[in-house]
Amino acid sequence: MKESEKEYKENMKDSSKDSPAKDTTSENQKSQMRKGILEFCILLTISKEKKYASDIIKELKTADLIVVEGTLYPLLSRLRQSDLLAHTWEESQSGPPRKYYELTKKGKETLHALKETWSSLAKSINHLSN
Amino acid sequence: MKESEKEYKENMKDSSKDSPAKDTTSENQKSQMRKGILEFCILLTISKEKKYASDIIKELKTADLIVVEGTLYPLLSRLRQSDLLAHTWEESQSGPPRKYYELTKKGKETLHALKETWSSLAKSINHLSN
DNA sequence: ACATAGTACCTTGCACTACAAGGTACTATG
DNA sequence: CATAGTACCTTGTAGTGCAAGGTACTATGT
């Protein structure tokens, strides 16, 4: 029924002429894709040995993941508040004392769970790619 | 300098006693990890053949990715506004007409870029896992 | 003819995230 | 003692997924 179809399309709220197109630049996409994965990555790096903020940023950079301070600090606070991380102050030879983070027991468990989530996600993408 | 270290710690704004811990339940983590990847998955599914909303949800479900309508529709609108998708109305034998989506040229290019982003991300995680 | 169920589309408001920008406190160096 | 460097943190903004709710059409039973 061409007629009813036409009616339907005309009567339905239409999002065609919404606000101007938003950013879907590849700059943005990369950043969007990292969302929620950063937490995983940070737990991963800390799991090897206790680290402080600059250590973490450095290590992530070697893996081609750019993270800035303003992102990292709130994230570390979140993880500590959720009892996934604990910190200890340690003096430095050159500069202010550093806050070294390490995984709590809960943190290790969570990391394990996140690893599974990740591999499940990777499997899904694989599945869709065929 | 135990003394100066102490000062530093005391004087710095401290986030230790912030608001109560937020959700870092594994429910939430899984959902957070999917963020920004959904867009990629949806382009992937549409790349094979044109699909409408329910098709997409069904296909994602077979890959163990749960998506709901309220998530999908705004996302499709975004992609269309960014000229990655185009849609055509088609009648249905049973029910209202359907909006079939397919990739534009720009959409295909973007999908290609996203594939690279994904594999680079996977490589990073791999790198960190050792 | 009319109500009910089913399908398909869409919006609003919320919680969460990453980031840019800016600020404080300490150390080391010229 | 000023300047640069390191390390920590906060505030405000834009983007995202989701729950909840709403509109429009078709098919079916009574």
- Per-residue pLDDT tens for A68-78? 999 999 999 99
The residue ranking higher by pLDDT, B85 or A9, is B85
Confidence of residue B38 (pLDDT cuts 50, 70, 90): very high
Is the per-residue pLDDT at A122 higher than 50? yes
What's the confidence (pLDDT) of residue B92? 87
Confidence of residue B106 (pLDDT cuts 50, 70, 90): very high
Residue with tokens 């599914």: B45
Q: How far is the CA of A7 from the C1' of C27 (A)?
A: 73
What's the confidence (pLDDT) of residue B31? 78
What's the confidence (pLDDT) of residue A18? 44
Lowest-confidence segment of A64-68, A100-104, B21-25, B122-126 by average pLDDT: B21-25
**Min distance A88 CA to chain B CA atoms (Å):** 11
Confidence of residue B84 (pLDDT cuts 50, 70, 90): very high
Strand C footprint nucleotides (protein C-beta < 7 Å): 6-13, 15-29
Residue of B22, B86, B83, B92 whose CA lies nearest to B54? B92
The values of phi and psi at residue B87, to 5°, are -130, 155
Is the per-residue pLDDT at B105 higher than 50? yes
A83–chain B Cβ distance below 8 A for any pair: yes
What's the confidence (pLDDT) of residue A22? 42
A106–chain B Cβ distance below 8 A for any pair: no
Most B CBs within 10 Å, among A46, A125, A126, to test the B interface: A125
Task: Give the global pTM.
Answer: 0.85
Strand D footprint nucleotides (protein C-beta < 7 Å): 5-12, 14-21, 23-27
